[in-house]
Amino acid sequence: MPIDVAARVIANRPLSSDYNVLALDAPAIARDAAPGQFVMLKPGAGHDPLLRRPFSVFEILRDAGGTPSGISILSKHIGPSTGLIYGARVDQTIDCLGPLGRPFTIVDPPAEGWMIAGGVGLAPFATLAQSLRARGVTATLFYGARRAAELFYLDFFRALGVELVLTTEDGSLGERGRIVAPLDRRLASLDRASPVMLYACGPEGMLAATAKTAMKHGRACQVSVERIMGCGLGGCYSCVVPMRSDTGGFHHVRSCISGPVLAADRIMWE
Ligand SMILES: Cc1cc2nc3c(=O)[nH]c(=O)nc-3n(C[C@H](O)[C@H](O)[C@H](O)COP(=O)(O)OP(=O)(O)OC[C@H]3O[C@@H](n4cnc5c(N)ncnc54)[C@H](O)[C@@H]3O)c2cc1C
Ligand code: FES
C-alpha cells in the first residue's frame, strides 16, 4: 500500500546546473520500494504547481544498522516542480506519496541484466543494479547523455561490478552518438543461447529505438515509460499508453498502475 508522508529533506546535492540528488527522510516508503517504482512529490507549499509530479526512487538510504531510512531522487530541472526540487533546503518538508507502480521483474543467473539509460532515465537503475548484483546476475549499464558532464554515478555502478558502456552526443566520453548503437552491436554478437533481459528508461524516442532493437534480436525488454501523470493512482487517465491486445487490436493501460514498467513488445510505438 502506498503511503503519504511529509518527508523532511535530509540533503540536497547539486550534480550540475540542472541535475541534483535530493535525499528524503521516508523510512516506510524506503522499506517497501522495489526497483522501478516511483513516488509522487509536491515540493511547493502553495497551489502552483497544484499537482504532484512523478519521480523514480533513485536510492534506498540506510541508517548505520542497514535499516532503510529514506529515499533519494535524481532530478533534472525542466520546469516549476523540478526547479523547486533543485532549490529545496535541508529540513523543509516535501509531500511524498509512494511507493507506486509496478516494478521491474528481476532475472536470476544465468540470465544477464542489461540496463539502457538515457539522461535522467538513469534514475531507476541504481536500485535495479543493486538487486541484480545481489542475486549474482552479471549486469551491464548502457548509459548515454549529451556530454561527459551529464554522466553521473559512474563510480557507484563500477563499485557494484556493473560493466559500463557509455556514449555522449558530443563524443566527450565513451563512443560518440546514441546509446542504442553499441546495444545493437552487442546484441548482434551475443550467442543466441545466452539469456539476457533488457531494462530501459529514458526519452520516448530512445525507448522506441531500444524496443525495436530488442525485438530485432528476439530479446525480452522491459521499459519504464514516462507519461505525464496527474495522480499516480489510476484516477485521472492522463498517463495512458496504447498496448497491443492478444486479440489483434489494441487497448490503453494507465501507466501509473499497469506500469511504469511495461513489456516493450506490447507497446504500440508510434
Ligand atoms: C514514472 C515516472 C518517473 C519519473 N522519474 C523521474 C526522475 O527520476 N527524475 C526526473 O528528473 N524526472 C522524472 N520523471 C519526469 C518528471 O516527472 C518531470 O520532469 C516532472 O513532472 C516535470 O515537472 P515540472 O513541474 O518541473 O515541469 P512541467 O512544467 O510539468 O513540465 C515541463 C515540460 O516537460 C513536459 N513534461 C513533464 N513531464 C513529462 C514527462 N513525464 N514526459 C515528457 N514530458 C514531460 C511538460 O509537458 C512541459 O512541456 C518521471 C516521470 C515519470 C512518469
Ligand atoms: S496518473 Fe492518473 S491515472 Fe495515471
Pocket test for ligand 1, best of 226, 231, 261 (most atoms within 8 A of CB): 226
Cis before 2? omega within 30? no
Q: How high is the pLDDT of residue 198?
A: 98
pLDDT-based confidence at residue 84 (cuts at 50, 70, 90):
very high
Place of cell 501523470: 229
Cis before 109? omega within 30? no
Ligand 2 atom showing the smallest separation from residue 232 Cα: 1
227 pocket-lining for ligand 1 (C-beta < 6 Å): yes
Which residue type occupies 237?
Y
- Give the span between the Cα atoms of 262 and 207, in whole angstroms: 11
- Give the span between the Cα atoms of 6 and 246, in whole angstroms: 42
pTM of the model: 0.96
- Give the span between the Cα atoms of 176 and 54, in whole angstroms: 31
Q: How high is the pLDDT of residue 243?
A: 96
Average pLDDT over residues 106-119: 98
Rounded to the nearest whole angstrom, what is the distance from the C-alpha of residue 227 to the centroid of ligand 2? Answer: 9
In angstroms, the Cα distances linking 210 to 21, 65, 117, 266 are 26, 40, 10, 13
- Give the span between the Cα atoms of 153 and 122, in whole angstroms: 9
pLDDT single digits (tens) 202-258: 999 999 999 999 999 999 999 999 999 999 999 999 999 999 998 889 999 999 999
Average pLDDT over residues 28-39: 98
